[in-house]
């Protein structure tokens, strides 16, 4: 089974300390998922945003090139819970 976890959020300018912010994910995210992928979009201005720290202990960090910007983010993970491991994904086979 290939399951996906998607979590989205928005960081307002006041969420950043200078140009850094930490996002705290729900407790179950790290326990049930692995192989995270990230998407960041700066809103309302021209700046760069990077993932400064990958998901660890239910958190990840974002850094921007300019202070006071808004960032929309999405984290996607592959399910790695016990059910997903016992029931791996199998592509549908062509019918004869």
pTM of the prediction?
Answer: 0.78
Look at phi and psi of residue 19 and say left if phi exceeds 0, alpha if psi is from -120 to 50, else beta: alpha
pLDDT digits (tens, 9 = 90+) for 39-88: 999 998 899 999 999 999 889 999 999 888 889 999 988 888 888 778 87
Residue of higher predicted confidence among 89 and 82: 82
DSSP 57: T
User: Which pLDDT score is estimated for 49?
Assistant: 94
pLDDT digits (tens, 9 = 90+) for 6-16: 666 777 777 77
Instruction: Name every residue whose Cβ is closer than 8 Å to that of residue 15 and which is 6 or more positions away in sequence.
Output: 21
């Amino acid at each position: 089974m290939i399951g996906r976890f998607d979590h989205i959020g928005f960081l307002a300018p006041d969420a950043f300390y200078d140009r850094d912010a930490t996002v705290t994910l729900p407790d179950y995210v790290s326990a049930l998922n692995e192989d995270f992928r990230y998407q960041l979009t700066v809103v309302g201005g021209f700046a760069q945003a990077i993932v400064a720290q990958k998901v660890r202990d239910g958190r990840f960090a974002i850094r921007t090139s300019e202070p006071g910007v808004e960032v929309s983010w999405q984290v996607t993970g592959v399910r790695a819970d016990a059910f997903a491991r016992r029931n791996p994904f199998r592509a549908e086979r062509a019918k004869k």
